[in-house]
Chain A
Amino acid sequence: MTIERLSGAHLLTKALAELEVEYIFGYPGGSVLDIYDAIFQQDKVSHILVRHEQAATHMADGYTRATGKCGVVLATSGPGNTNCITGIATAYMDSIPMVVLAGQVASSLIGGDAFQETDIVGCSRPIVKHSFNCRDVNDIPNVLAKAFYLAETGRPGPVVVELPKDILNPDIKVPFVLNKDVKIRSYNPNVKGHSKQIKKAVEKIVNAKKLVVYTGGGIILANAAEQLTALVERLNAPCTNTLMGLGGISGLHDNFIGMLGMHGTAEANKAMANADIILALGARFDDRVTNKVEKFCPNATIIHVDIDPTSISKTVSAHIPIVGLVDVVMAQINKELDDVGYQSSADTFKDWWQDINQWRKLNSFSYETKEDLIKPQQVVEAVYKHTNGDAYVCSDVGQHQMFAAQYYPFKNPRQWINSGGLGTMGFGFPAAMGVKLAFPDSHVVCITGDGSIQMNIQEMSTCLQYDIPVVIVSLNNRSLGMVRQWQDMIYGGRHSSSYMESLPDFVKLAEAYGHVGMQVNHPDELDDAIKEAFAIKNRLVFVDVLVDENEHVYPMQVRFGAVDDMWLKKGEKV
């Protein structure tokens, strides 16, 4: 048998195919033309040509968040790579696996300020899980296998692979050797929780009077939503999700008490503040959750389960730290509950649920409607109604993001896709495109605003090229709403640079790109317009909804306060 000899570029495409990659999101340029030539000559891996490399990273990211499969980005050296930085950082902050194939000038030119040369490995170092400078053509397949392995295991994250042009040379052919069984001696993430810690945790849980299960993106990443729901039901405990953890338990579940944190429900934040035991699963006590750390849940014993030891006791000190995969640790907790003969009944946490139901009566998501002005909350509710709550909802960053998180209860994990950690405006639309590619028959909506959508609006061109009919619903308030809200609340109403006084005609813009544009500006038209938008299956629809520009997102934690110090409405604190 003769061993097949391939050039570096062909080794790359063959390895990607063997690693079951469906799509590469990218943009060509000088240093990666050999790879593009190799892509052209095969049909296993499809390439999606974006209009800006940042969008390629977000598309790969959205694809990954919806499917669980690692997304792949390809960019040329220099500006192609630096344009990826925001998308890499976005994936890094939310622990999303991603492999970025970064072209580089030829090895002999590296360090000499060659045309389109940047040190992408150096530029991206603080925002990657790991990176590789691939220097030998023979290494390409195995470096890729390692990159995927690192990106997807442990706490997932982006991995950059730098590929200098000379190792892709079509004239240099070497045997294809790919070892999929990757082992790295310096990398052994913990899987199981320490059994003594599990025992301690269960002892606390069993004796809890006011237990809260607080879960984050870790549950989604670990595909552990069913397990979480079963555990919450077994304990009959209240469960709250972070912004990243929404869908970890159904938003319609009786035990779900809503999102917590800066714009969370009163009942979730009150429950946290009054809990005696907090079981944190795959969440990281982010500052948008805790508010002032020193005032955070002073009376609670905190059990913190996380795959990443650095997340534990980074901000809030954990009393019982457990390092391990959240699904594995939940199974261990269940086993230990069996071993101690734990049985919950309808009376479990009876008094605790009474407290919570009182807080629920605060009805913290209530809002006032107006006869002639559309409220942004109404738009999200209309989207929920006309998608039966089954859509993939991708959001950008700002007020609309919070409204989407609050008013669209997510029944399933991976249904809610947003840049929670980095807060990247311009994320939502390309992310929605990545989701739609993976699930062409599902409703995929990008809930955005007039600020965010303009940060990657050029991708409407990509949607036409590849027939990606997402629905864009823009809550257009003619201003940068969240900035404006803070300026109203903290800066004496001085709206410094938060106006968008020269907005384009979004309807015409959508039409110019070859899509369907719609504008709605009256509450009476809203329902029909949203219904119509989702009825159009085969074309991209851009719905420009003119909403009340003075609306604020509530509830909102009072700055520097405890977790449950909140504004419920303008001028109304609890």
Chain B
Amino acid sequence: MRRIISILLENEPGALSRIVGLFSQRAFNIESLCVAETDEPSLSRITISTFGDDKILEQITKQVNKLVDVIKVADLTERPHIEREIVLVKVLAMNNKTRTEVMRISDIFRGDIVDVGKQIYTVQLTGDEDKISSFISILSNETEIIEVVRSGTVGIARGEKALRA
């Protein structure tokens, strides 16, 4: 089962490598990983998209929590939450027909064309993992995809619930 783990940790050198090291050392999966500083510069927030059964997920959250740099861990997928990913897709746009079709599909998905070249369009799209995967799949039916860059999932709990130090 796919899960999204949110981690609040010290913004220290080496802290990220401890998280990544833990996942490989204990043979846990990482589907995607996002990390950046929070509003409080001494803290980082990591979002990891992973999968495993309940027993594995229990171990993942416990093991991450045990790391000295980690302040809080939450499984976002346990509760109502919002998840988003951003993708940049560079496609071949050689003729009018393809260009129109790419624009049409992007419009439907509420994407934006953010760069135009002689023969290429670059589209930016935000959404959850499903939306982004189906967008890429549909685009690939219309034209040749040159490059896909996905940010990985970030997420936040709905309502009052917050992960703070």
A130 neighbours in B (Cβ, 8 Å):
68-69
Q: Return 9 A-B CB contacts under 8 Å, by A number.
A: A125-B18, A126-B21, A129-B68, A130-B68, A150-B68, A186-B9, A186-B68, A186-B70, A186-B71
Contact A309 B65 (CB under 8 A): yes
Contact assessment for A185 and B63 in the assembled complex, using a CB-CB cutoff below 8 Å: no
Top 9 closest pairs, chain A to chain B, by CB:
A130-B68, A310-B62, A186-B71, A126-B25, A309-B62, A125-B21, A187-B68, A310-B63, A310-B66
Closest chain A residue to B64 by CB distance? A310
Asked whether B14 lies within 8 Å of A121 as measured between CB atoms, the reply is yes
A308 interface contact, C-beta 8 A? yes
Q: In the complex the two chains form, is B63's CB within 8 Å of A313's CB?
A: no
- Which residues between 1 and 41 of chain B lie within 8 Å of chain A, taking CB atoms? 9-10, 13-14, 17-18, 21-22, 25
Q: For residues 422 through 437 of chain A, which have their beta carbon under 8 Å from a beta carbon of chain B?
A: none
Which B residues lie within 8 Å of A184 (CB)? 68
Task: State in angstroms the CA–CA spacing of A441 and B87 once bound together.
Answer: 70
Q: Are A185 and B66 in contact (CB under 8 A)?
A: no
A187-212 vs B: 1/0 string, CB under 8 Å?
10000000000000000000000000
- Could you tell me which residues of chain B, from 92 to 147, have a CB within 8 Å of some CB in chain A? none
| Count of residues in A whose CB is under 8 Å from the partner chain | 19
Q: Contacts A121-B14, A125-B21, A185-B165; is A313 near B68 (CB within 8 Å)? A: no
B interface residues, how many (CB within 8 angstroms): 21
CA distance A391 to B24 in the complex (A): 42
Question: In the complex, which of the residues B14, B58, B59, B65 contacts A131, with contact meaning CB atoms closer than 8 Å?
Answer: B14
Contact yes or no, B58 A313, CB < 8 A: yes
Instruction: Compute how far the CA of A4 lies from the CA of B59 in the bound complex, rounded to whole angstroms.
Output: 48
Known: A125-B18, A126-B21, A130-B69. 7 other contacts (CB 8 A): A125-B17, A126-B25, A129-B68, A185-B165, A186-B68, A309-B62, A313-B55
Beyond A129-B68, A186-B69, A308-B66, whether A122 also contacts B17 by CB under 8 A is: yes
The reply to whether A185 and B71 contact each other, CB–CB distance below 8 Å, is yes
In the complex, A187 Cα to B67 Cα: how many Å?
A: 8
Q: Taking the nearest CB of chain B, how far is it from the CB of A84, in angstroms? A: 18
Contacts of B65 in A (CB 8 A): 309
What residues of chain B have their CB less than 8 Å away from a CB belonging to chain A?
A: 9-10, 13-14, 17-18, 21-22, 25, 55, 58-59, 62-63, 65-66, 68-71, 165
Q: Contact at A186–B10, with CB atoms within 8 Å?
A: yes
Which A residues lie within 8 Å of B13 (CB)? Answer: 133
- CB A508 to nearest CB in B, in angstroms, measures 45
Interface residues of A in 170-193 (CB under 8 A from B): 184-187
The answer, yes or no, to whether A314 is at the interface (CB within 8 Å) is yes
**Residue with the greatest number of chain B CB neighbours at <10 A, chosen from A184, A185, A186, A308:** A186
CA distance A309 to B61 in the complex (A): 10
- CB-defined contacts of B22 to chain A, threshold 8 Å: 126
Within the complex, what minimum Cβ distance (angstroms) separates B2 from chain A? 22
Q: How far is the CA of A310 from the CA of B55 in the complex (A)?
A: 11
The interface residues of chain A lying within 8 Å CB-to-CB of B68 are 129-130, 150, 184, 186-187
Report A276-315 CB contacts with B as 1/0, cut-off 8 Å.
0000000000000000000000000000000011100110
Closest Cβ–Cβ distance, residue A325 to chain B (whole Å): 16
Shortest B6–chain A CB gap in Å is 15
Closest CB in chain A relative to B98 CB, distance in Å: 47
CB-CB under 8 A from B165, the residues of chain A are 185
> Cα distance A313–B22 when bound, in Å?
18
Q: Produce 1/0 per residue, A113-143, CB < 8 A to B.
A: 0000000011001100111010000000000
Please encode chain A, from 29 to 51, with 1 for each CB lying within 8 Å of some chain B CB and 0 for all others. Answer: 00000000000000000000000
The residue among B13, B21, B68 with the most chain A CB atoms within 10 A of its own CB is B68
Are the C-beta atoms of B63 and A133 separated by less than 8 Å? no
Residue of B whose beta carbon sits closest to that of A187:
B68
Among B66, B69, B71, contact of A309 (Cβ-Cβ < 8 Å): B66
Distance A574 CA – B62 CA, assembled complex (angstroms): 38
CA distance A309 to B70 in the complex (A): 15
Complex Cα distance A187/B69, Å?
A: 8
CA distance A129 to B67 in the complex (A): 8
Residues of A contacting B62 in the complex (Cβ-Cβ under 8 angstroms): 309-310
Taking CB atoms, residues of chain B closer than 8 Å to A187 are 68
Least CB distance, A97 to chain B, in whole angstroms:
14
In angstroms, how far is the closest chain B Cβ from the Cβ of A121?
6
**A129–B21 CA distance with the chains assembled, in angstroms:** 13
Contacts of B59 in A (CB 8 A): 310, 314
B23, chain A: closest CB distance, angstroms: 11
Given the complex, which residues of A lie within 8 Å of B10, measured CB to CB?
Answer: 186
User: Which residues does chain A contribute within 8 Å of B25, judged by CB atoms?
Assistant: 126
Task: Tell which of A126, A129, A133 touches B14, judged by Cβ atoms closer than 8 Å.
Answer: A133
Q: Return B50 CB to nearest CB of chain A, in Å.
A: 16
Report how far A36 CA is from B165 CA in the complex, Å.
41
Instruction: Return B60 CB to nearest CB of chain A, in Å.
Output: 10
Which residues of B sit under 8 angstroms from A309, Cβ to Cβ?
62, 65-66
Chain B residues with CB under 8 A of A129: 68
Q: How far is the CB of B149 from chain A (nearest CB, A)?
A: 28
Q: Which residue of chain B has the shortest Cβ distance to A317 in the bound complex? A: B55
- List which A305-337 residues lie within 8 A (CB) of chain B: 308-310, 313-314, 317
A125 to chain B: closest residue by CB? B21
Minimum CB–CB distance from A574 to chain B (whole Å) comes to: 32
Which chain A residues lie closer than 8 Å to B71 at the CB level?
185-186
A185 neighbours in B (Cβ, 8 Å)? 71, 165
Instruction: Give the complex CA separation of A417 and B85 in angstroms.
Output: 53
Chain B residue with the shortest CB-CB distance to A186: B71
For A317, list chain B residues within 8 Å (CB).
Answer: 55
Least CB separation from B20: chain A residue: A125
Give B52 Cβ to nearest chain A Cβ, in Å: 14
